[in-house]
Structure 1
Amino acid sequence: MLKTQIKLKPVVSAKWLSQHLHDPNLLILDASLKDNKAGLKSEYEGVQIENARFFDLKNTFCDPDNPISNMIPSPDRFTAECRKLGINKNSKIVVYDNLGTYSSPRVWWLFKAMGHDDVAVLNGGLPGWSKENFAVETKKSIELEPGDFQADFNLESVLNSEQILENINSEQSLVIDVRSEDRFLGRVPEPRENVKSGHIPKSINIPFSSVLANGMFLPKNELNEIFERLSVKNKPLVFCCGSGVSACIVLLACELVRTNSKYLYDGSWAEWGQLENYPVE
């Protein structure tokens, strides 16, 4: 009886998932990417958690008409593609990836932005699951009954370049760039063509790797120390990265310990770094 009334926290453990694996309405989504701009590699290709459904961030759950990669899809597209995966309005979703914690927070954020709160990230992802000796299976395709999911998009959760430009002067929000320090400071070329090196003026750098250890989120007391050092109190926080994926790692880490309003600059550096007449430090 109680199992049908579970309330998902933003992050769940492998042990928790193993105990709830067959709960009614619980769906597991595999958000693993084939490649990434961070150059990370996985040892867990070709396997998945039992009955996981592949959530294709790169090709399906994005805006196919936008030249900037990974941009958020329209609510109609998101709704239609979720229904194809058998996702329902009352589905409780746990998402993971095969790098530990990399692309899964982006899926968590997408569902939150689309008005679905019953979603969590598996801490440590597939590597963490496997290290606990929980079972995996060969990836497979299965026929799914269409779901009745319906997106209710929160437009305010996403900021555009004009709003970020305006914020440089107003400083209403603090912009947090989660790329590596070398990319933030422009010491190395950007991995995308025709994108300048550097960062948005007045933004600060919290590399996404600094909130993780062995693919898992740091303990809450350590995460709290990271954000306490910013001395932002209740100031709104805006997260960005290369193209809106890894920014969600630090956004989720912040969600675990801070109540500040949080936003995503979805275009991130892939957009800002090629805009003419937009300032770069």
Structure 2
Amino acid sequence: MFRDACPLVVTPAQLQVMRDGAKSAKSPELVVLDASWHMPNSPRNADQDFKRIHIPQARFLNIDRVASFHPLGLPHMMPDAAMFREFCGQMRITPSTHVVLYDTHGVFSSPRALYMFRAFGHTRSSILDGGLPGWLAHGQEYERGEPERIEESRYPLPQLDEQAVKDYDQIVANVERDPAKDPDAFYVLDARSSERFLGTSPEPRPGLSSGHMPHSISLPFSHFIESHTIPDDIAAKYTKELPATYTRLRSNQSLLSALDESLGPERAKEVLDGKRQVVASCGSGMTAGVIWLGLKMLGVEQVGIYDESWTGYAMRVGSKIEKVDLL
């Protein structure tokens, strides 16, 4: 259905070249989407931020709205094929469109959006490394206000890669299997902080237990990204729109080191050699996308995401939860 795949990550300079090469600002060959998302306890509003400042001709992807209904009320669940098709049509995305996604943190929620496109087979998709802050730090243009109305396009009904999304039943079945003894069990990599994983710090969602699934492995998403400071002359122009720092994806060598440190050399080699399937999880399925992206950058093919992640798992009565023994 689609042309050849595009790189997973592009730089601000590369995106500018692509923009210059597009036939027009409204060309369906390139569509830039702001996929920003903030934690529930954040005072920021991604939709309002977009209206204040965004990359020229960008459109806004509300990850919480392009999402399937969940009986537990969980946000940003993977949309069904019809919903994804409708959104792409509204954004004037065609199967040949190169979609570039970014967020206002740098690298935070855009990997989750990229995961969605890739899971539906739209391999002509990338994230912008450094996001909007990285774009502005490189002296690139911006615009404010609502984007112009565009003519919708037709998008064929895609097929979801079922291996890319794991549900609760699959996770529970895997919890009962010890990966050290069962080569068919998959590794669950938990992207939350180590304190939440161990159960020594509370979850940001009130009433939700911290801790972790049996046999899961702690790999905080922060280990896959690095912080950069916005130059003073740039920051002075955007004091209301941007934080002082932003994040970028680490180098492949740093990603390898983080993976090796968390999994250990033997398990890391299993993953890199494709001998063991990996499933990323986090608080609600958002920053698990960073783990997914990092592993994809390392050439790991068998990477899925537990869509509900810890929120869906811990909300259910009977889910097995482990915590560190402080006594």
TM-score by length of 1: 0.92
Instruction: Please give the alpha-carbon distance, in whole angstroms, between the structure 1 residues aligned to 2:123 and 2:6.
Output: 8
Percentage identity across aligned positions? 28
User: How far apart, in 2, do the equivalents of 1:99 and 1:38 lie?
Assistant: 16
The alignment's C-alpha RMSD in Å is 2.1
For residues 217-245 of structure 1, give each alpha carbon's deviation from its aligned partner in whole angstroms, at most 9, with x where no partner exists.
11111111222342321311100001111
Distance, in Å, in 2 between the alignment partners of 1:92 and 1:86 is 11
Q: Structure 2 residue aligned with 1:82, among 73, 77, 88?
A: 88
1:16-62 residue CA offsets vs partner (Å, 9 max, x unmatched): 111111444011011112x315859699932111100111112x211
Q: 2:292 aligns with which of 247, 251, 254?
A: 251
Q: Once the 2 structures are TM-superposed, how far is the Cα of residue 118 of structure 1 from its aligned partner?
A: 0.6
Q: Which runs of 5+ in 2 are unaligned?
A: 23-28, 180-184, 228-246, 323-327
Mean CA deviation greater in 194-203 or 99-108: 194-203
Q: Residue 160 of structure 1 aligns with which residue? A: 167
Paired letter, 2:314: G
Q: Which runs of 5+ in 1 are unaligned?
A: none
Does the 8 Å contact 2:5/2:125 carry over to 1? no
Query: How far, CA to CA, are the matches of 1:191 and 1:133 in structure 2?
Result: 35
Which residue number corresponds to residue 237 of structure 2? none
Instruction: Give the conservation status (yes or no) of the 8 Å contact 1:68–1:267.
Output: yes
Compared CA separation, residues 40 and 263, structure 1 to 2 (3 A): farther
Contact 1:235 / 1:260 at 8 angstroms: preserved in 2? no
Tell me what 1:16 maps to. 14
Query: Which of 261, 278, 282 is the matching residue for 1:237?
Result: 278
Cα pair distance change 1:196/1:208, threshold 3 Å: same
Aligned-residue offset at 1:206: 1.0
Report the counterpart of residue 220 of structure 1 in structure 2.
252
TM-aligned CA distance change 1:6 to 1:164, over 3 Å: closer
Greater Cα shift, 209-218 or 39-48: 39-48
SS in structure 2 at match of 1:121: strand
Seen in structure 2, the aligned counterparts of structure 1 residues 77 and 6 have a Cα distance that, compared at 3 Å, is: closer
Report how far residue 65 of structure 1 moved. Answer: 4.8
- Amino acid of the residue matched to residue 79 of structure 1? R
Q: How does 1:1-281 map to 2 (within 5 A)?
A: 8-24=6-22, 25-33=29-37, 35-37=38-40, 45=49, 46-58=52-64, 60-66=65-71, 67-150=73-156, 151-170=158-177, 171=179, 172-214=185-227, 215-229=247-261, 230=263, 231-232=266-267, 233=270, 234-281=275-322
Q: Is the 8 Å Cα contact of residues 42 and 98 (structure 1) preserved in structure 2?
A: no
- CA separation in 2, counterparts of 1:185 and 1:65? 27
Aligned amino acid, residue 11 of structure 2: S
Work out which of the two has the higher radius of gyration on C-alpha atoms and give 1 or 2.
2
Distance 1:160 1:180 in 2: 22
Deviates more, 1:220-229 or 1:89-98: 220-229
